A and B are shown apart, each in its own frame.
Chain A
């Protein structure tokens, strides 16, 4: 059987043109996806049943036992952390918010360690953006700043920018200029028309210089700014001003470096400035296929995109205080539920040391680094492979992922709904 128009649950591009060939309940071939997506669709080695850590060994337990363990853990915790969420569907994220509210926990998603700083910047100055198709059809200038799509979002270039057809571009490949700004000469840089190499930590200064040039204050610019020659800055600024439609896509190269959210703020203000001259937009290259969905769900349900603390009953938001890395590093939480992410691979060691000290339940189809810190892991269906559900593309377009095969694994939503029901029952008794 071939499933057409399947939705790839890997990165924020959320490509929805994938063909998946299934035989005997196994994926045997994948067409149209990139290497990352293909590997995910073909993924094997799933965990077979829920496991419980028993001293120095693992033992299998039933789903009922595992769900009960998780519900009891959350109910008896004083300050539980519910973390992850970008690797699951929106319907499951909604249940997660209700659970956090019920036990007065902290709910945070992986954006606190990817584009959390971008959100902080947006909360200061807003966000002039657009859907990916607007760029595909119109943009004659695309800037990748601190992002490396060839490695992290391989089809971004072919579906939306460098190699994409565009309604208003006669010869899109020729008529569309691509600028890459990075501290490394990445593979993406090698396909750019212009590569701007910045000294590490110099993004803020370069953005400020470009803003000054766009405002006509070129004479204030020194000979080089963070390693970038004045002439190149002027050339880039002129390319921007003379474009009919420019689009900036920025990545973790801006959010994780010195200055963090201030870098993004400066980039957005550059785009707002350019909007007075021509059409310009800016967008974040979101990593996980549904990390943007976790921001959307959290926002309509709690008011905030990430880092929400219900300990006072109301939703309280203060990134740096109510975000997962901080809460773990301060050894504040006394239990953790991890869904759809792998903090043990992606958090600093100090956070892991605390994970080792507290009860942890994880929902994940595969054994991963966090498994080592689990008291219980519950294997679940993979959204987009054996579970359906809503995901939000990096530009905010919501797409329902398809189920390409059937397995006996329950979905995240099913497992969380059972936990939530047990917790409500216990509290109402």
Chain B
């Protein structure tokens, strides 16, 4: 199914943002908030993993029901998971389209990666001390 993906700040993202190696930060920023009707249609329960495919890649997140979003729209806290699929074009403004990407969402059995696994996929090296 196709959804409009909006990213933004949340309290939990803010609380954990200074500790990006924590499991809490990873959990918060890999959460995809969806309308429960949409979840029903995809056969998803709260906490099920989903594959989210954007214009330049895919990433695994967890679905979470939210009364804040409308059907057809999903909300993902600002962070490395959403950015894994956001395109870099800025339409000559310097600002990517952080709040206006169409994404495909489907259920999956895979687990979300850790932040450092995502970084390593792109050529980084985990720092784990």
Task: Tell me the A residues contacting B by CB distance below 8 Å.
Answer: 10-11, 35-36, 39-40, 43, 45, 51, 53, 56, 58, 108, 112-113, 116-117, 120, 148, 150-152, 154, 183-186, 200-201, 252-253, 255-258, 260-261, 287, 306-307, 319-321, 323-326, 328-329, 342, 344-353, 355-357, 366-369, 371-373, 377
Contacts and interface: CB of A to CB of B under 8 A. Distances in A.
B104 to A, nearest CB: 17
Contact of A345 (B8, B10, B83, B91): B83
A188 to B, nearest CB: 10
A348 B83 contact: yes
**In this complex, which of A307, A323, A371, A377 has the most chain B Cβ atoms within 10 angstroms of its Cβ?**
A371
A372 B120 contact: yes
B101 to A, nearest CB: 10
B11 interface: yes
16 contacts: A36-B15, A45-B21, A113-B95, A148-B9, A183-B6, A200-B4, A200-B6, A200-B73, A258-B97, A258-B100, A320-B94, A344-B119, A348-B83, A348-B86, A352-B123, A367-B21
B18 A39 contact: yes
B127 A185 contact: no
B19 A151 contact: no
A58 B129 contact: yes
Interface of B: 4, 6-11, 14-21, 29, 56-57, 67-70, 73, 75, 78-80, 83-100, 115-116, 119-120, 122-127, 129
A146 to B, nearest CB: 9
Nearest to B67: A185
Contacts of B20: 342, 345, 366-369
A187 B6 CA distance: 16
Given A344-B80, A353-B123, A369-B115, A117 B95 contact: yes
B21 A350 contact: no
Contacts of B15: 35-36, 39
Contacts of B16: 39
A278 B56 CA distance: 48
Given A253-B99, A261-B93, A349 B21 contact: no
**In this complex, which of A51, A148, A349 has the most chain B Cβ atoms within 10 angstroms of its Cβ?**
A349
A152 B91 CA distance: 26
Contact of A113 (B17, B29, B70, B96): B96
A357 B123 contact: yes
Contact of A150 (B11, B67, B70, B90): B11
Contacts of B18: 39-40, 43, 366
Contacts, number: 186
Given A150-B11, A323-B90, A344-B80, A256 B98 contact: yes
**In this complex, which of B10, B78, B125 has the most chain A Cβ atoms within 10 angstroms of its Cβ?**
B125
**In this complex, which of B4, B86, B92, B99 has the most chain A Cβ atoms within 10 angstroms of its Cβ?**
B99
A346 B79 contact: yes
Contacts of A185: 67-68
A370 B4 CA distance: 27
A183 B93 contact: no
A371 B116 CA distance: 9
Nearest to A347: B83
Contact of A351 (B85, B88, B129): B88
Contacts of B75: 184
Contacts of A369: 20, 80, 115-116, 119
Q: Identify the 3 closest CB pairs spanning chains A and B, nearest first.
A: A356-B123, A372-B124, A323-B94
Nearest to B29: A345
A35 B11 contact: yes
A183 B100 CA distance: 12
B86 A349 contact: yes
Contacts of A323: 90, 94
B11 A151 contact: yes
Contact of B125 (A10, A347, A372): A372
**In this complex, which of B75, B94, B97, B123 has the most chain A Cβ atoms within 10 angstroms of its Cβ?**
B94
B119 A319 contact: no
A320 B87 contact: no
B87 to A, nearest CB: 6
Contacts of A117: 93-95
A350 B85 CA distance: 9
A137 B19 CA distance: 37
Contacts of B7: 256
Contacts of A373: 119, 123-124
A326 B78 contact: no
A56 B98 CA distance: 32
Contact of B93 (A53, A152, A260, A366): A260
B56 A349 contact: yes
A367 B128 CA distance: 9
A36 B88 contact: no
Nearest to A318: B92
B119 A348 contact: no
